[in-house]
Amino acid sequence: MIYKVLYQENKIVNPRRETTKTLFMEADNVVEARTLVEDNTPYNIELIQELTGNSLEYEKEHADFKLTEFPKNKKSDSED
C-alpha cells in the first residue's frame, strides 16, 4: 500500500502548517509506515494517510510524487 506522510522535520520546534512537508512511501500497513519513519528519521509525524484509487492518481499527477524507501529492519542493517 502507498501512504502519504505529513511531517515536520524535527520534534523540537512547534508544528506550523507552513513548514509541513510530505513524503510518499510503501508499507504493508499504517503501523509499519509509522515505525519505518520513526526509526529512520527525526521527523515529527502529523498524519499518515493511505492512498488508493482516485486519491493516489491525484497525488501522482499533482504532487511531487516520489516513493521514499527506508530499510525494513534498521538494526540488522547497522550490524553488518
Domain that holds residue 44: 2-72
pLDDT-wise least confident of 2-6, 56-60, 73-77: 73-77
Q: Is residue 77 part of a domain?
A: no
Q: Is residue 14 part of a domain?
A: yes
The type of residue at 18 is: E
Please give the model's pTM, rounded to 2 decimal places: 0.84
Identify the band that residue 74 occupies on the pLDDT scale cut at 50, 70 and 90: low
Q: Is residue 42 part of a domain?
A: yes
pLDDT tens readout for residues 9-50 = 988 888 889 999 999 999 999 999 999 999 999 999 999 999
Q: Is residue 57 part of a domain?
A: yes
- Asked if 67 and 27 touch (Cβ cutoff 8 Å), the reply is no
Euclidean distance between CA atoms 36 and 45, whole angstroms: 11
Number of structural domains the chain divides into: 1
Q: Is residue 78 part of a domain?
A: no
* CATH code of the domain containing 10: 3.10.20.730
Q: Is residue 15 part of a domain?
A: yes
Q: Is residue 80 part of a domain?
A: no
The arrangement of strands across the sheet holding 44-51 comes to 44-51, 2-8, 21-26, 67-68
